[in-house]
Chain A
Amino acid sequence: QQQVKQSPQSLIVQKGGISIINCAYENTAFDYFPWYQQFPGKGPALLIAIRPDVSEKKEGRFTISFNKSAKQFSLHIMDSQPGDSATYFCAATPRANNLFFGTGTRLTVIP
């Protein structure tokens, strides 16, 4: 059973465009929602995270939008760059410590 559902599976964006990745969850016990970025041959690295008491968090070109009532959250990458080409994973964790990851989105930014 997939605790966190992520879409799309892959995404191709022109340089300078906006990349949008969506995630949804069911478990209302989740209280922390991080996004991880993974380059080929590397481990995932934390990109940005949000708690359910805020609806939006922005760090540079990366923004998380959070809709608690819909149990959905999304990652927006503004002014996408070729260096952003990577696989992005949303995740969620309940008070029980474990991080549940989505299935990943492979982003390709075309120069």
Chain B
Amino acid sequence: EAGVAQSPRYKIIEKRQSVAFWCNPISGHATLYWYQQILGQGPKLLIQFQNNGVVDDSQLPKDRFSAERLKGVDSTLKIQPAKLEDSAVYLCASSPVKRPNTGELFFGEGSRLTVL
């Protein structure tokens, strides 16, 4: 079974530029998550989708971050304009059920963003 795919793996941009990350979850997984992992910290949820609807985006900085999940499969996370503090690894995860306490989250390898 293929895992969660993410691209690009690495991205370096200047502040105020824009960047987009792509995620393809495990086939059949209805729930998709984007987490931000700053160096030395645990992952923090940015947004959670159930199929193509948003379940939780309370921690998403909506003035600069946006995310969509078209057709309930692939997802894109965009940052525009980027700030220095956005330097982090952006992790995509998927789950076959809505509630993670009835199953586990499957994480991709992440997209490492460096903002100069």
Known: A46-B105, A97-B56. 16 other contacts (CB 8 A): A6-B42, A31-B101, A32-B101, A34-B100, A41-B109, A43-B91, A44-B105, A45-B107, A51-B101, A95-B99, A97-B48, A98-B48, A99-B105, A101-B43, A104-B40, A104-B41
Give Cα distance in the complex from A103 to B101, angstroms. 20
Given A41-B109, A43-B110, are A104 and B42 neighbors across the interface (CB < 8 Å)? yes
Cβ A43 vs Cβ B4 within 8 A: yes
Across-interface contacts of B91 in A (CB, < 8 A): 43-44
Give Cα distance in the complex from A41 to B20, angstroms. 19
Encode A47-59 as 1/0 by CB contact (under 8 A) with B: 0010100000000
- Could you tell me how many residues of chain B have their Cβ less than 8 Å away from some Cβ of chain A? 22
Among residues of B, the one whose C-beta sits closest to the C-beta of A96 is B56
Residue numbers of A with Cβ under 8 A of B are 4, 6, 31-32, 34, 41-46, 49, 51, 89, 91, 93, 95-99, 101-104
Cβ B109 vs Cβ A42 within 8 A: yes
Interface residue? B98 (CB, 8 A): yes
Among residues of B, the one whose C-beta sits closest to the C-beta of A30 is B101
Cβ B99 vs Cβ A99 within 8 A: no
Main secondary structure of the interface of B (DSSP, over half): loop
Identify which of A4, A43, A97, A102 contacts B100 (C-beta below 8 A): A97
Given A43-B4, A43-B107, A43-B108, are A97 and B44 neighbors across the interface (CB < 8 Å)? no
Across-interface contacts of A91 in B (CB, < 8 A): 42
Q: List 27 A-B contacts (CB under 8 A).
A: A4-B42, A6-B42, A32-B100, A42-B109, A43-B4, A43-B91, A43-B93, A43-B108, A44-B43, A46-B104, A46-B105, A51-B101, A89-B42, A89-B43, A91-B42, A93-B99, A96-B56, A97-B55, A97-B99, A97-B100, A98-B45, A98-B48, A98-B56, A99-B43, A101-B42, A101-B44, A103-B41
